[in-house]
Homo-oligomer: A and B are copies of this chain.
Amino acid sequence: MSKVGIRDVAKLAGVSTGTVSRVLNDHPSVTKELRARVGGIINDLGYLPDPSARSMRSKVSRLIGIVIPDLTNPFFAELVQSAEQAAANHGYNIIVMTSFDHAAKEADRIRQLTSRKVDGIILVPSNDFHTIKLPKGLPIVVVDRLMPGYSGIAADHRNGVRLGVEHLLKLGHRRIGFISGPGHSVPANDRLRGYLDAIEEADGSAAMAGPPLIAEAAFDYESGRSAGNYLLARARNERPTAIFASSDQQAIGCMRAAHDLGIPIPAALSIVGFDGIPLASMTTPRLTTVKQPIQEVAAAAVAVLLNKQTAPELDNPILFACELLKGETTSPPQPD
């Protein structure tokens, strides 16, 4: 009952190992009936092909690696989960690794994955990613945080943010703060540009009353809280009446900050987040946010790696549209 190999199946079926192999990989050149019989034996014996042997010969591991900055971030968790589903549909499995937003660790993870001989890598670059020397010949698709020079797939952050800011503008807000992403990363810039797009379109002068209302922050709760404190620490008539945060976690941290300062939401401050994580509908009050189509992004990434879909051109990423989810953190501004 221990190790049943392909030869056992072959013997019991009265065929050669070659035939069994062909059945296994449903090679077209096998009779229907023979395929059926051999298939039956395979099942009866509970035979499972050895992936190592298989991979050694075929040079295909049916493994794909995914490297993300932080699994604790619900957004990435959902990304990984979606990728796992998509991969499983094609008989592939996922190896996860965390870079902790640290370039050196990230490079190491990619090295590990390479030596693992995965068939491809889905990478969400760390914030201080500086063009790692990627192993040539190993398909890599950059996701969410696009990098110039790499084949990428992501949500359309720019237009997504614009959607959210336009919503605030329509409500009548004119001093709209913005918590941006960290550093000069592409997604941070994209989101910032979405903000600027909306502001400019709505007539820059009216919108930008007062000093710059932009704060830079990492995407986590705590950074959002600090940024919120910073933006809200000014006289009431100079303080933003609304804030757009570049992540839901930032937005939630910002809500904390507002609460600590005694600023009621949405009465005295409207907040819009970005990502659309499930938690957004559980905060008090419910967070208005821009939802990213994570599952679509993940599925597309997997499809590209498995050549089920043509890879996007360098510097011409595949983008998926975002959607505004109205919650309870937005309302018209109070008069000063």
Contacts and interface: CB of A to CB of B under 8 A. Distances in A.
Interface of A: 2, 48-53, 55-56, 61, 63, 70-72, 74, 77-78, 80-81, 84-85, 88, 93-98, 112, 114-117, 137, 221-222, 225, 249, 252-253, 255-256, 259, 278-279, 281-284
A266 to B, nearest CB: 14
A72 B61 contact: no
Nearest to A221: B282
| Closest 3 pairs between A and B when the two form their complex, measured CB to CB | A52-B55, A48-B115, A52-B56
A84 B56 contact: no
A253 B278 contact: no
Contacts of A78: 71-72
A187 to B, nearest CB: 21
A275 to B, nearest CB: 13
Given A225-B282, A282-B225, A48 B256 contact: no
A93 B93 contact: no
Nearest to A71: B81
Nearest to A83: B96
Contacts of A61: 52
Nearest to A85: B98
Contacts of A112: 88, 93
22 contacts: A48-B115, A50-B56, A51-B52, A51-B116, A51-B117, A52-B52, A52-B61, A71-B71, A72-B78, A72-B81, A80-B96, A84-B97, A84-B98, A95-B95, A96-B96, A221-B278, A221-B282, A222-B282, A225-B282, A252-B282, A253-B282, A256-B284
Given A116-B51, A117-B50, A225-B282, A80 B71 contact: yes
A52 B78 CA distance: 30
A256 to B, nearest CB: 6
A137 B3 CA distance: 11
Contacts of A97: 84, 88, 93
Contacts of A96: 80, 84, 94, 96
Given A52-B61, A74-B74, A88-B97, 16 more contacts: A48-B114, A48-B115, A50-B56, A51-B117, A52-B55, A53-B56, A71-B80, A72-B74, A72-B278, A81-B98, A84-B96, A93-B116, A221-B278, A225-B282, A253-B282, A283-B283
